[in-house]
Copies of this chain bind each other. A is one copy, B any other.
Amino acid sequence: MPGKRVVVIGMGFGGLSAAKALCGKGFELCMVDRHNFHLFQPLLYQVATAGLEQEAIAYPLRAISRKWKDAEFLLAEIGSVDLENRCVLTSSGKIAYDYLIVAAGSRTNFFGMHSVERHSFDLKRLDQAEDLRNQILLMFEKASQETDPKRRSALLTFVVVGGGPTGVEFSGALRELILYVLSKDHPNISPDETRTMLVEAADTLLTAMPSDLSEYACNKLRGMGVEVLLNTRVVDATAETVALHDGTIINCHTLFWSAGVAAAALASGLPGVELAGSGRVVVQTDLSLKGYPEVFVIGDMASFVQDGSPLPMMAPVASQQGRYAARAIMSRESGGRIPPFRYLDKGAMATIGRSSAVAITNGLKFRGYPAWLVWLVLHLFYLIGFRNRLVVMMNWAHYYFSHERQVRLITADKRRSQS
């Protein structure tokens, strides 16, 4: 007979690792997500740059849940949580819980700039990656038919905002797509006609990295032809322009925004809960909510201060917190206690292009080809499912040796009216 009911909201890295640690441990496990798949978000940018098909980085949640005992999956949107009566209000009705793990992740933060939000692409969901891919390919199709030089140049200008890992990886992959694939697909477009701009508000890329690695990444990108603008902010946008803080107007039809994240909207659906910066939920040292020891908030949604600053919104933090929350619940049930959560930083990395990356782990720094190999192995290792690993590896091998990207399909039927 199953025991207490644990509800996990959100099946990203945090929710999935919590659920995995709890399954088969005598709980009744209910996993809720608004999608029926787990998404390997760190590779979304590769879908957007035609390197991978979307199916290669998404894994059906029911393929996971059906193997687990006493676990069920529910496809639903979460409205709010009734902390007093211990139940979650979803689009598919009420779900009661004994323990709750909230891991709904984050959304893109446009810092209130509605014009930028309306006219830019971001990468949080799978369908956005496909939209962005369609957009990039379509801009080249339009440019190859455009005779007005000014308009043609605007169609071929891509502005990427945010010099974090997503912005760096996306602009590097985009530049390679242009250099090695699209400029060959379109014989009448020279790579020199195209512009890929990476705009960062700080004075360095990859601020979480040591400065020599940041500089390496910056030089590498510049060597590939990416225009890196540091100390620069985007303040406004229309369908065909991007405005910088110094008044510069860039003619551009494609704006990609990766300059900020905030906790998922559900954070404000937790009544009476204290919120920190970026709308993240303040948690106790055991990741539970103050006054509600049966509720845990983990991953991007949680603001957990360690060594003076909140932990970053990234997959390894979420995974570790998921496993911790599961352990906390199990030890609570057995009457034990576990020490406060502490994030073990195993390092950080960002890939810049084919066979180049920067990485730091245990104080060791890697750059160039060795770092790229580390990136490759780790990403394949963490990708769920043998078949997905195989498909990804095949795509990468094919691309590595041929500089060809097969996934360059414009799949949306309706043309975006942006331009």
Where the two chains meet, the residues of A that have a C-beta atom closer than 8 Å to any C-beta of B are 35-37, 53-56, 58-60, 62-63, 65-66, 72, 74-76, 92-93, 125-127, 130, 137-138, 141, 145, 184-187, 385, 387-388, 390-391, 394, 398, 404, 406-413
Known A145-B74, A387-B394, A391-B391; contact A36-B66, beta-carbon cutoff 8 A: no
Contact A407 B63 (CB under 8 A): no
Shortest distance from the beta carbon of A167 to any chain B beta carbon, whole Å: 24
B66 with A185: CB separation less than 8 A:
yes
Nearest B-chain residue to A75, judged by Cβ: B141
Copies in the complex: 2
How far apart sit A406 and B391, CA to CA, in the bound complex (Å)? 11
13 contacts between A and B (CB under 8 A): A35-B409, A36-B137, A36-B408, A37-B409, A55-B55, A55-B409, A63-B404, A74-B145, A75-B145, A75-B410, A130-B411, A387-B398, A390-B394
Contacts of A413 in B (CB 8 A): 125, 127
- Chain B residues contacting A62 (CB-CB under 8 Å) are 185-186, 408
CA distance A409 to B66 in the complex (A): 15
Interface pair A406/B55, CB less than 8 Å apart:
yes
CB distance from A73 to the nearest CB of B (A): 8
Q: A35-B409, A60-B408, A62-B186 are in contact. List 9 more A-B contacts (CB 8 A).
A: A36-B141, A37-B409, A53-B54, A62-B408, A63-B406, A66-B184, A93-B145, A127-B412, A387-B394
> What is the distance, in angstroms, from A313's C-beta to the closest C-beta of chain B?
22
Contact between A145 and B185, CB atoms less than 8 A apart: no
Q: Which residue of B lies closest to A125 (CB)?
A: B413
